[in-house]
A and B are shown apart, each in its own frame.
Chain A
Amino acid sequence: MRPFLYQRATDPDMAVQALSAAAAANNPLTHASAQPLAGGTTLIDLMKLDVMRPTAIVDINPLARGWSAIEPGRDNLRLGALARMSDVAAHDEIQRNYPVIANSLKLAASAQLRNMATLGGNVMQRTRCSYFRDVSYENCNKRNPGSGCAAMDGVNRMHAVLGVSDQCIATYPGDFAQALIALDATVEITGRSGSRSLPFAELHKAPGNSPDIETTLQPGELISAFTVSGRWPRSVYLKARDRQSYEFALSSAAIALDVQDGTIRDARVALGGVATIPWRAREAEALLKGQKFDDGLAQRAADAAFADARGRRHNSFKIALGKCVVARALQQAVTMEI
């Protein structure tokens, strides 16, 4: 690890200021010289691996008093960015009214990590691409722009089949973000010029020609909360993985449905483990809406979700797998008791 300046931010302004001071260099956020520290389970890891080399760390944990509330309202939900994964996953009302959120968190990482990790840090976590995380490989466009992509023809079993570009096929690894994007969540952002909010779907950016730019967040900006409107008791998070626990998704689906009298009035489908960013499968949703559910419909929706998928040598299986996961998750959502 390289030496860095450690600062504790005791209020949001101080945090923003400390982070903005370093923003001048005009780097994308991923390469900014000052980084916020929440649970540290991504950031410290990457610093030890020499992948991230910030010269300043701004510890935002003291902001938890204001930023860690879990607030289920009558018809909406607000989650502070510093709420811990474990606390949100264990929350009664979230389990009841937003099972997709509770389960996406419960099925992520390990108990120890969930106790440490925050929601804000979780959505900002970075890819697990082995070549990205090993600096002895020169060629990684995300870490080292313009250097090429070692994964493209390398060991890429865990890599993405959706949202990929010629520059990068790294999977967005998180689970919780699929629940947020499925539920049309909004993200609240605090920055130099006050607060703004953004549809969660606009937070992450596909790699395109600049895989080093991962979000629309600017240096000096912090996520303070997520909000979801409506209640989604008929929702599931299904995650297929190599181990029964403590393992990233090979493929996952976040599904939320509004079914009335057997007709699907609203459908939300998001995919994890298969895409470069949190992935909303709108084509699948369009097929489902207004229809009566049957297994054939589930299959067509699943096919639609992966219509644009592009596999490579070791990860093509994710296309068939992803379809199974979507179809099965839809069945579970339709038949679940609420």
Chain B
Amino acid sequence: MTAAAPEAKANMGRPVPRYDAVSKVTGRATYASDMPLANPAYAFLVTSAISKGRVDNFDFDDARAVRGVIDIVTHQNAPKLKESKLFSNGGYAGTTIQPLKSPDIAHDGQIIAVVIAESYEAAREAANRVKVGYTVAAPSATFDSPGTTTAAAKGQNSQFKEDPKVGDFAGAFEAAEIQLTVSYDTPTQHHNPMELFSTSCAWIGDDLVIYEPSQYVHGLKNGVAEQLGIDADKVRVVNPYVGGGFGSRGSMTPRTAIIAAIAKRLNRPIKLVPTRDQGFTITTYRAETRHEIKLGASRDGKLVALRHEGAEVSSRPDAYCVGGTKTTTRLYACPNVDSLVSIVRADRNTPGFMRSPPEVPYLFALESAMDELAVKLDMDPVELRRINDTTTEPIGGKPYTSRSLMACFDEAAKAFGWAQRSPQPKSMAEGDWLIGYGCAATCYPTQMGPAAARVRLQRDSRTRVEIAGHEIGTGAYTVIAQTAAERLGVPLEKVAVFIGDSDLPPAPVAGGSNSTASTCSAVMMVCDQIRQRLFKAVMPSDSLTEKAKETVGISKAPSTQAAKSDRPLDLEKAFDALGVGVVEEYGEWKPEGAPLDSFRAMHSGHVRLVGGHQMKDKIAYAFGAEFVEVRVNRFTHEIRCPRLVGAFAAGRIMNPRTARSQLMGGLIWGMSSALLEATEIDERNARYVNDNFADYLVPVNADVAGVEVILLSEQDDHINPAGAKGLGELANVGTNAAICNALYHATGQRIRKLPVRLENIEV
């Protein structure tokens, strides 16, 4: 065992190495833009230099003079496309702003022309030479800009159904012994996955193949078909590897149908590789948010009143919001709760999912406020959480399926050395550096969605698993292979996994951390179908003993336990009894409580996730606790974070190695989102300024000195057959609060606006 491959504790799979490790390290893994195309033409985007107004004219003389230019497509000659609704309104799109439809410009960096040429270089050069005449209108950039409009989220976003409330907040707050009212801000952020937002489209007759990094191949396939007005079965999306997603590739962007339609017209494959700065405007992002938290507590620390009001920026036409009050109103025991989410419309591209979309900004507010309350109460912030820990959520009174929040706090506190903290602010230092310790809770809803899988088992144990899941770096190949190997009792090396292709049985979007639970549950189910056939061949079904039923996974006992009591099946004997060489099964799995139309929706590229607070008689979340050490230079006020320690409990850990890697990345991102990451907006013109990797700061190796991930054993038999809670988005939640809490401890100064930069420190 090594740090990278922690030993498996109870209810954990083996920390086997990644299925795709060698192909990734050796560069053999083919990403979308690596896919060979026959005689492709190359596209380069021209994007608007204004955020509101219209294009008056183009001057293409210079551009057309570039050797190799084939065509320049604008709103005047673009292929007509059908509209797609926003994913949250039953469509596929991440934005309803469809470029090249009219001369109108709705946001900075909107696609206004596509140059097609014989080479990437020619297309790019020609695009650089396009001159555009604009009529500019005054845009509204963000909060407080003139011209924005604000309205409650409820009623305009069909996925935001309710502002959670319970009891009498106003009365209880008024009467509370301790009251706290505080406001917090979080910044605009962009995902910036390493792989750019490329798209390659190739037609073979009436059939379209799209190579594009996507977190939802079935959604993209159906969405593009809808926009092109063709049968979805004519479209195939392929991407065996995705170079990071973080939510940016979950919904369809307008570029894909545009490139597909131009490729059709040109009768040639087209490859588009946009630049990094274009990625800031042709896809989605995490919008800036504002929060006001009111906490009322009794002197002994019990919460009596909690109110969370959030505001989020969105585009003019689309009411996107993350609405994290669904989580923050349910995290702690509190009898009187109120909340409100509103959406502020500005002249911006439509925001979208970004790793833990609701929890990152909303828990920053709540977990910072909890720390402020602890200070007011003169109480250890860990104890404040313990006092308000609960096994039922306060809004609907539903029990958590499992909740190891305080166990996580205790484990992480121990590993971190929290007891060595001297609670007084500004009381710890070393040399030029003030030292601060801080902590915060993290949680993330356990979600799963309908998924289908096909599994083929040969007499010699070779196994082929097919499911249109997505390898976005999380370890999907690995845990799917492990699941099949374990379930069928075949050696791991015998299992081949095929994912990232919409011709395979559908799986949900790789978002909301549902993938492992959904895909592994489906794969388990189909493996069980195979075992059942084999068992039946060996012994007639009426003589199935209870023991045998259990081992084939058809008893009432939860599958996680069945798997443990499993005994190897004599494959060769079973195959001989069946008289075949290959057994293949296809199956469709849906989680308990999934809507009736689940499978229909699954095949048409619509997601039906269930879980979190939306389950019938229960609520399912994964939990964790994070402790950080910050150092603030007393001269320069430079801020560094030498230590991040997190303990997490997320049901069955399929593979401690890949889980740790996800959680470690999450902790680092959480630190980054507190101290470094922010997309700067020029408020005069509503444009993103630092749209490149030199200016959009993410941590470098030297910023990440120590990260420790502790995986807790947790068994939860009430969530899904795999017993797994999603953890991909668990660790980057709360870190931002932990850091600000530590900064308070280091400096005595409370900072409520992210990111924290050295100029914000005033010691």
Contacts and interface: CB of A to CB of B under 8 A. Distances in A.
Given A128-B695, A243-B703, A137 B758 contact: no
A245 interface: yes
Given A245-B701, A250-B758, A328 B636 contact: yes
A244 B433 CA distance: 14
A300 interface: no
A66 interface: no
A154 B684 contact: yes
Contacts of A308: none
Interface string B26-60: 00000000000000000000010100000000000
Interface in A138-185: 150, 153-155, 157
Interface string B640-666: 100000000000000000000000000
Interface stretch (A15-23, A214-222, A319-327): A319-327
B640 A244 contact: yes
Contacts of B635: 324-325, 327-328
A163 to B, nearest CB: 21
B699 interface: yes
Interface string B739-763: 0000000000000000001110000
A155 B690 contact: yes
Contact of B700 (A1, A136, A244, A317): A244
Interface string A1-25: 1110000000000000000000000
B606 interface: no
B702 A2 contact: no
Q: Which of A153, A243, A246 has the most CB of B within 10 A?
A: A243
B689 to A, nearest CB: 4
Nearest to A135: B128
Q: Which of B633, B636, B694 has the most CB of A within 10 A?
A: B636
A244 B703 contact: yes
B125 interface: yes
B682 interface: yes
A133 B703 CA distance: 27
A243 B121 contact: no
A2 B122 CA distance: 8
B83 interface: no
B638 A241 contact: yes
A126 B614 CA distance: 55
A71 interface: no
A1 B697 contact: no
B702 A244 contact: yes
A321 B125 contact: no
Interface in A201-246: 240-246
A242 B692 CA distance: 16
Contact of A155 (B121, B277, B689, B692): B689
Given A137-B49, A243-B676, A243-B703, A154 B689 contact: yes
Contacts of A243: 676, 697, 699-700, 702-703
B694 A128 contact: yes
A157 B36 CA distance: 44
Nearest to A328: B635
Contacts of B637: 321, 324
B128 A246 contact: no
A84 to B, nearest CB: 20
B125 A154 contact: no
Give the interface SS of chain B, mostly helix, strand, loop or mixed.
Answer: loop
B226 interface: no
Contacts of A1: 121, 124-125
A50 interface: yes
A293 B680 CA distance: 42
A240 B49 CA distance: 33
Contacts of A328: 432, 635-636
A317 B761 CA distance: 10
Interface residues of B, number: 34
Given A154-B684, A155-B680, A240 B638 contact: yes
A173 B64 CA distance: 37
A247 interface: yes
A130 interface: yes
A50 B63 CA distance: 14
A144 B695 CA distance: 22
A2 B689 contact: no
Give chain A's interface residue range (CB within 8 Å of chain B).
Answer: 20 to 34
Nearest to B638: A240
A317 B759 contact: yes
A243 B675 CA distance: 9
Given A317-B759, A321-B759, A242 B676 contact: yes
Interface in A115-145: 128, 130-131, 133-137
B22 to A, nearest CB: 24
Nearest to A322: B636
A170 B521 CA distance: 57
Contacts of B692: 133
Contacts of B697: 242-243, 247
B758 A325 contact: no
Contacts of B684: 153-154
Contacts of A128: 694-695
A335 to B, nearest CB: 12
B124 A245 contact: no
A245 B676 contact: no
A242 B700 contact: no
Nearest to A2: B125
A50 B682 contact: no
Given A136-B49, A242-B697, A243-B699, A50 B128 contact: yes
B61 to A, nearest CB: 15
Contacts of B277: 134
B761 to A, nearest CB: 10
A325 B633 CA distance: 11
Contacts of A321: 636-637, 758-759
A321 to B, nearest CB: 6
A135 B130 CA distance: 12
A154 B700 contact: no
B89 to A, nearest CB: 32
Contacts of A133: 692
A157 B637 CA distance: 16
A324 B694 contact: no
A237 to B, nearest CB: 14
A154 B635 CA distance: 28
Interface string A279-315: 0000000000000000000000000000000000000
Given A130-B695, A137-B49, A317-B759, A325 B636 contact: yes
Contacts of B432: 328
B553 to A, nearest CB: 51
Nearest to A317: B759
Given A240-B638, A324-B635, 14 more contacts: A130-B695, A154-B682, A155-B680, A242-B676, A242-B697, A243-B697, A243-B702, A246-B700, A246-B702, A321-B758, A321-B759, A324-B636, A325-B635, A328-B636
11 contacts: A2-B125, A128-B695, A130-B689, A130-B690, A240-B638, A242-B638, A246-B702, A247-B697, A251-B636, A321-B637, A321-B759
Smallest CB-CB A-B distances: 3 pairs = A317-B759, A136-B49, A245-B702
Interface of A: 1-3, 50, 110, 128, 130-131, 133-137, 150, 153-155, 157, 240-247, 250-251, 317, 321, 324-325, 327-328
Interface of B: 47, 49, 121, 124-125, 128, 277, 432, 633, 635-638, 640, 676, 680-682, 684, 689-692, 694-695, 697, 699-703, 757-759
